[in-house]
Structure 1
Amino acid sequence: MNPNKALWEKGDFTRIAASMRESGDELVEKLGIKKGMKVLDLGCGDGTTAVPEAKRGADVLGVDIARNLVEAGNKRAREMGLANLKFEEGDATDLKPLKDKSFDLVVSIFGAMFAPKPFDVAKEMVRVTKPGGKIVMGNWIPNDPTLVAQILKISGAYTPPPPEGFVSPMLWGVETNVVERFVQAGVKKENVSCVRDTFRFKNSRPPSAFVDDFKTYYGPTMNAFEAAEQSGRSVELKKELDKLFESQNTSPAKSETSIAATYLRVTVNVG
């Protein structure tokens, strides 16, 4: 099995995605969605941004490598009566079934960044975008002091080193890398822009309980705990993550969690 597929089908990412809905909707509000626009949401999970895109009248295709998330997304679309939204399995490095120049907007928020072969990912996103269309990515930033970069950094200290040739997904959070990848895909350098933005995680339980969600349902953290268990360090890992979540929680009610995470919002204008 594709290791990425195994990673994202592990656990149940919908449990983490539930804490991301509000920020997902706020992000989509910035995208200028118009009724009838054709939108591809890549690495879409169960629809944190795909659902609000469809609610604003776009015809949306969500593509994700994880079958369980595709099934969860289609269930959400049915329950909400969104006939203009469908989810399919697919690989961001090879979108072969999708025709050239078929989408007005390609969106990937913390999705395609995790696919291997980043140059192939950029090439495929550009290929399926109509001339005059746009690509918008949200990518976590390496070594950023805020939540997600720190979760991945802490987890990485407990897991075996990645295989030779592995390209860190976090490099999508470095502007020079982003520009290089899209330029190689045929986009002019001046048509790629990056700004720092904020995504907020909200959970109705205290930080330590929210950490338990990551431990139980989020593939990378699950892997870290499995490795830590083997080396007798799982209690240490839990303490580190509890400390991180508690220190970054800004909810006035300490029985709830509200944590902001900085990310790189990339906009690519496709000529």
Structure 2
Amino acid sequence: MDVFHEKREIRSFLNQERSKDKTVGLVPTMGALHQGHLSLVSKSVSENDVTVVSVFVNPTQFDNPDDLEKYPRKLQADLDLLKAVSEDIAVFSPAVSEMYGEKITSEQYDFDGLDKVMEGEFRSGHFEGVGTIVEALLNTVTPDRAYFGEKDFQQLQIIKKLVAKRKIPVEIVGCPIERETHGLAMSSRNERLSAETRLNAGFIYQTLKAAKEKFGTESAKYIADWVRSQFNNQNELKLEYFEIADEETLTPVLTKQEDMKYRGFIAVYANEVRLIDNLRLN
């Protein structure tokens, strides 16, 4: 397994591979890998000749400095997990200065409003930071395909918008959410939960599934009110938002239409750890 820390190194390596007509897949991560990440890596390995996994904790997508400081960093453990998938994976793990230079700032983007709702409403500047690093990674690796998990579904739609607007020649591949046995969406943040809280947080997914069952007969407003009521008696879980939105535009739904695809989006604090999830409702 090759590990690269500089852009020129990974570009030189990939130029050699492309000279042999090999296809390249990219899996961007912030490390602290889990089975959700590994499922993306496995898909890339199965669909491309070369897979690059980036491991980079991106400072510009954290609106909370404390959250950035506490984010788990364990590169060697990540490398061990990746080796179990394939020895042929190339890892790109740059320093912050390698990606940003001397000035750590985000680019400005027009995502046609996709960034103004849900996560964008509660995390100021988050998607500018995401867009900045994803665009930089795509331009550095120039992959044929890039893989992103649907747990961050809003992010996935924004990245598709970014690629279309910037005319970046890459296929963005969305992959299903991987879940723990009790339903909690896999996330690097889960490591910060106690065993008891981690188990109790399965309530988030159970509530989403119940909302899906109600979606066929109840109004969007009724379901949203019902979901909020379910968290009133949860001691460890504090609901930040629940929204039913159109999958493509992420526009919150007022009246359901038969020809539209809808998802329920949720953000919950489990003690001080912020968790997100989503589920298609129809």
Q: TM-score range by the shorter chain?
A: 0.3 to 0.5
- Higher normalized contact order (CA 8 Å, seq sep 6+, divided by chain length): 1
Normalising to structure 1: TM-score of the pair? Answer: 0.33
Q: Which has the higher Rg, Structure 1 or Structure 2?
A: 2
Q: TM-score scaled by structure 2?
A: 0.32
